[in-house]
Chain A
Amino acid sequence: MSVLQIERLSIAFGGVRAIDDVNLTVPKGCVFSIIGPNGAGKTTLFNLISGVYRPTQGQVLLDGTDVSGFAPDRLARRGLSRTFQNLQIFFRLSALENVMVGRNRHETTNVIQDLLRLPSVWRQNRATREAAMAALARVGLAADADKSAASLPYGAMKRLEIARALASEPQVLLLDEPAAGCNPVETEELDDIIRAIVDDGVTVVLVEHDMRLVMNISDRIHVLANGRTLTEGTAAEVRANPAVVEAYLGTHNARGRAVA
């Protein structure tokens, strides 16, 4: 049963096809990794899936529904959430408040109620706070809840983004290079965090350069190069594929030479 499906997806920026005719199917409840050399189009693909970019062509199906061209907030309300490669922390807010924003789609009060601080807002705030604390705890940041998000170390900010995305209770979570800039211990912890997320029934789509993490954790790996699908398979299959090595090293690759 696939929760996320991409059919013949393409996007062009000024004639350059950053994503070119990509198909992939993400089964429910797995860790699905997308890898590829720099500039392969991984983040662009995430931006397409999460609605930040509109595809030039093709379809994105979420839980069987065509959601191509949906705005990000609409997708979020359908259970898709993500983190960012370049951190997008809300620096004005505390760590806890950052995660509380993640609860937005579950909050039901309107702006008039908020202004008047009706009892419903009280209840809402309490519920949001509890859920956000729980999400912070899941990434090991419970102790930092009241700190300013801007004061957190880099690795903690990365986990804060995961907590924020988790707080929205997604069915699909896109993680964009969560291990970038993390030390080995933090990466290890990340491995545990992701496994726990999947155990809770969330499907994780991962873009990552840390190959140890990818190979350890992924159920399936999709390899992109120059915006196109190179191959897809299990960790063992991908590792054994000479084309993948070529794509990364580029020396024997005619396309790579042409580009260089």
Chain B
Amino acid sequence: MPRLIDSRYTPLIAVALIALLLPLIFPSPYYYRIGALVFIFALAVIGLNLLMGFAGQVSLGHAGFLGIGAYAVAVGPTHLGLPSWFCIFAGAGASALVAYAVGQPILRLKGHYLAVATLGFGIVISIVLTNEAGWTGGPDGMSVQRLVLFGWPMHGSKIWYWIGAGTLLVGVALALNLIDSPSGRALQAIHDSEVAAQVLGVRVARKKLSVFVISAVYASVAGSYLALLNGHVTPDLAGFMRSIELVAMVVLGGMGSVFGSLVGAAVLVVLPQALTSFHDYEHMMLGLIVMGFMILLRRGIVPALGAALTGRAL
């Protein structure tokens, strides 16, 4: 097949096509909301995938950054009178700073020790959000003012579908850029052999820290969007189960597959919606699905499909 376009950007084109064509088959406006949720989660998952799938560093506390982003757009406008759009950036900046500060000691740890440390970080964030009720409304959370851009209120699922899709495209493009760059190669090298990367001159600690910060920013922006879409935030958003959900999305879609991040997010956003009719059995089904995928499609959906279809990973 002639290569009309650089195959490196296949995922970017795929995401763009999906976002454009999906509304054609939406039976009701409600589906815009689900689409928006998928795109927003996919954004966070791509960031986490850069950390986990490419650099090989586990984070069981990434929802903490979702929480920082979400509460930035909740607290900033309400308590400080800052514009919401500014708070998206402020939240991203805060997440980057927190990731930078926390990452220095934490990323020295390996394997399960890193898992505990990141888990602890996530829990600390959710405890702070729960306890500082004066700012955050405590366990019940707080409402979020609508985003207003150039005098226009950004309200409704449809708008957030397109904002989510647009931002996701930017996120995908940046991730693809990073993967095929000196930093990206260094990160993948670290994943396979830290010591070999190091003797080739890779500043391992610095590279890990930079991808941790990047992934935190992705999650933070996603968190801000979720809060603005829902109009309400609770500390659950930063909780352990959310972190697990993010990791499950990464692994389900495929570690190290940018397009897989979208698929993983789609599966775990859509399934619970589809399962609400089973209400009582929702958790059981969810548990079974996660286990089933992990056992049967170990490499994740997209890499497994890619291998089956073309003999190489997408």
Contacts and interface: CB of A to CB of B under 8 A. Distances in A.
- Interaction A to B: yes
Interface of A: 50-52, 71-73, 75-77, 80-82, 84, 88-93, 97-98, 100-105, 107, 109-111, 114-117, 121, 124-125, 128, 164-165, 168
Nearest to A107: B182
B202 A90 contact: no
Contact of A115 (B174, B191, B197): B174
B201 A168 contact: yes
Nearest to A148: B312
B117 interface: no
A90 B177 contact: no
A159 to B, nearest CB: 15
Contact of A125 (B180, B195, B207): B180
B184 A104 contact: no
Contacts of B195: 52, 72, 84, 88
Interface string B161-192: 00000000000001001101111111011011
Given A52-B195, A92-B192, A92-B256, A101 B200 contact: yes
A88 B182 contact: no
Residue from B188, B189, B210 with most neighbouring chain A CB atoms (10 Å):
B189
Given A73-B202, A90-B189, A93-B189, A101 B177 contact: no
Interface in B214-246: 214
Nearest to B256: A92
A114 B203 contact: no
A93 B202 contact: no
A111 B183 contact: yes
B271 interface: no
A116 B177 contact: yes
B99 interface: no
A165 B201 CA distance: 10
Contact of B181 (A52, A121, A164): A121
A111 B210 contact: yes
A92 B196 contact: no
Contacts of B210: 111
A84 to B, nearest CB: 7
Residue from B182, B183, B184, B256 with most neighbouring chain A CB atoms (10 Å):
B182
Contacts of A114: 177-178, 181-184
Given A84-B196, A114-B177, A115-B174, A97 B185 contact: yes
Given A88-B193, A100-B185, A101-B185, A115 B177 contact: yes
B200 A165 contact: yes
Given A93-B192, A97-B188, A116-B174, 6 more contacts: A72-B198, A81-B200, A90-B197, A124-B182, A125-B181, A164-B196
Nearest to B173: A117
Nearest to A167: B200
Contacts of B199: 50-52, 72-73, 75-76, 80-82, 165
B19 interface: no
A104 B183 CA distance: 9
